[in-house]
Structure formats: structure tokens, C-alpha cells
A = this chain, B = another copy of it.
Amino acid sequence: MNPKIITLGEIMMRLTPESNQRFTQAASFGAVYGGAEANVAVSLAEWGFDVSHLTVLPDNDLGKAVIKSLRKSGVKTDLIRTQAGRLGLYFLEVGAMQRASKIIYDRADSAFANLDPDQFDFEEIFKGVDWFHWTGITPAISENAYQLMLKAIKAAYKQGVKISADINYRRNLWQYGRNPLEAMPELMQYSTLMVAGETDLENCAGIAANDFQSACVKTKEKFPKIKYITTTIRNSISATHNQLEGILWDGEILRSKNYDMPGIVDRIGGGDAYIAGLIYGLNYFEPQKALEFAIAASVLKHSIHGDANEITVEEALMLVEDKNVGKLLR
């Protein structure tokens, strides 16, 4: 039977000018719906996991559009609640050549930020669940979202659910009063898998280290329940040409192949595709293969429009074996 997973997090509307236009040139914007956690949900649902995403949406047609978008990818939406309010959104200007991409966030005061953490019965929700995935974005949004996170993580841990945490430190969030160094460690400690670079660990857990290896050792000392720590290394040659590599620590450092990625179609969601790949991989493969699968999934994501990674397990595995690359499959 397929693993049962719950993901939790805000979903936003992403508005992108077409054809590399600048914000000041755009007369029309492509729209997709996504979020760091929901993107993981979509990948895993496409790959056969039994996935429910928990979130709060505005009770209007944009909220409805989000639900339709999740359902299309096979993510279950029965844990979603709606209430009056707005849908968070962000504007993405896609760069080109040396010109950087830009994001203008407009997510403050969303229905999600104003959610009531007590409307969810997490004991009930986590029954029979195998895995729970959250990110450091949620507790950074609002006190309510932080409280929700705290309840959810504790309930998940109590039910024996494995937990993955994408620390994802965002300096521009954390406006509501809490300090990440105080708030995050309590949430992070229950994780089996942690996605975190050195900056994340420093800003959210006060762990300073000279390199990723020693940062991992210190993290393990501080959070002994952790089994895996992972991050990606991205080299941005230009807006459409990056190089990507994954690192997984499970006591020692494993490194993936390094991929060259000219001609990127859409890099948003690339990190979420990696995390989904790792969750999938650690359920089915040994760690090195899980890592290679994850980075391959992430590389292929860069060839797909939108936040969601519409590729199959077989396609990612083929890339791991360097097969079919750039071919014409008849």
C-alpha cells in the first residue's frame, strides 16, 4: 500500500508576465497556484502516494480554483478549510541572461495567516498517517500559523508519524513578533528529515559551523531525532542557466551528480521537487539512490512550467541512469 502523507502550508497565486516581459511591460499575467508544501504534495501524489494537503483558503472563487488545481494533481483536499479573507499572492518576473528574476510578495493578511488553529483535530487527522511535511515558512507567517504548526507537529510526533521539515528561512517574513531562534527549535526537534543549508541552521537554530558536514554534526547533537539533513547547491550562471547538485547527510556526506541546466523553463518549485524526490526515495531506495532520484526530479522540474513537477518516477529514474536525455521518444 502506498504511503499516506499529510502536507501543511499556505497556497498562493503566482502571477507571471509572459515571455520574459518586465512587470512594467506586462499586459497579461499567467496564473498558477502553489506553495512550498503543496508543491511537495503534488509531486508525491503524481507518484502514487496517498497525499492530503491541509490549508486554509478564502471562501471565494480563487480559493475554489486552488482546490481544483490540487485535485487535478490527485492531492486530497478534504482537510482544507475556507474562511473570509484574501488569497496570498506573489508576482514573479522571470529574468533572462544576466538579468535576475524578481518576486514581489503580496501575501500579508491572507485567510491562511488569519486561520483559527483550533478548528483542526490533529489527533484524528494524523491517525494512520505515515509522513508529515512542513516548512519554516508557516511559523514565520503569523502567530496563528505558528500555533497551528506547534499543534500539528506535536500531534504527528505523538502518533508516530515521520516528520520532514524544510527550514527555508525567509528574512522578510517573521514580522508578527516571534524570533525564529526562539520559535523554530521547538518545532524542528521532531524531524526525521531536515532540509536546511548552513544559513537556515544558523538563523533558525543558532548553529554556526564552518562547513555543511560540521553543521550537520552539530544539528544532530542538538536534535538527536534527526536522521537525515539535506540541501542543494545551486550555481546561477544566468537566469536560464544554472547548475545543481544535492547533498545528503546521514552520518556521512553523500553527494549527487552535478547537473548542468541551460535553457531553464521554470525554476520555481525546483527545491520542492527535490524534497519530494527525497521523501519518495527514502521510502523506496537506499540513501545514495534516493539522493540521485531527488536531484534528477528537481532537474526535470526546471523543464516544466508552473510550480508543480509533472514528471513521472520513470522519467526521473531514466535521468539518474543518464538515459533518454534530450531524445525524441516515439
A interface with B by C-beta (< 8 Å): 15, 18-32, 60-62, 64-65, 68-69, 71-74, 86-87, 89, 91, 93, 95-106, 108-109, 170, 172, 236-242, 259, 261-265, 267, 299-300, 302-306, 310-311, 315, 319, 324-330
Contacts and interface: CB of A to CB of B under 8 A. Distances in A.
Contact of A95 (B69, B96, B172, B326): B326
A222 B102 CA distance: 48
How many copies, total?
6
Contact of A97 (B22, B86, B302): B302
A52 to B, nearest CB: 14
A93 to B, nearest CB: 7
A315 B93 CA distance: 14
A170 B306 CA distance: 35
Nearest first, the 7 A-B pairs at minimum CB distance are A23-B61, A72-B72, A96-B303, A238-B326, A236-B326, A99-B303, A97-B303
B328 A101 contact: yes
Contact of A100 (B98, B99, B102, B328): B328
A15 B26 CA distance: 12
A273 to B, nearest CB: 12
A87 B23 CA distance: 13
Nearest to A91: B62
Nearest to A170: B330
A245 to B, nearest CB: 14
Contacts of A304: 22, 25, 99
Contacts of A60: 104
Given A61-B102, A99-B300, A329-B100, A263 B236 contact: no
26 contacts: A18-B28, A20-B265, A23-B61, A23-B65, A25-B310, A26-B31, A62-B91, A68-B72, A95-B303, A96-B263, A96-B265, A97-B302, A97-B303, A98-B261, A98-B326, A99-B303, A100-B328, A101-B329, A102-B329, A103-B330, A236-B327, A238-B262, A239-B326, A241-B262, A241-B263, A263-B263
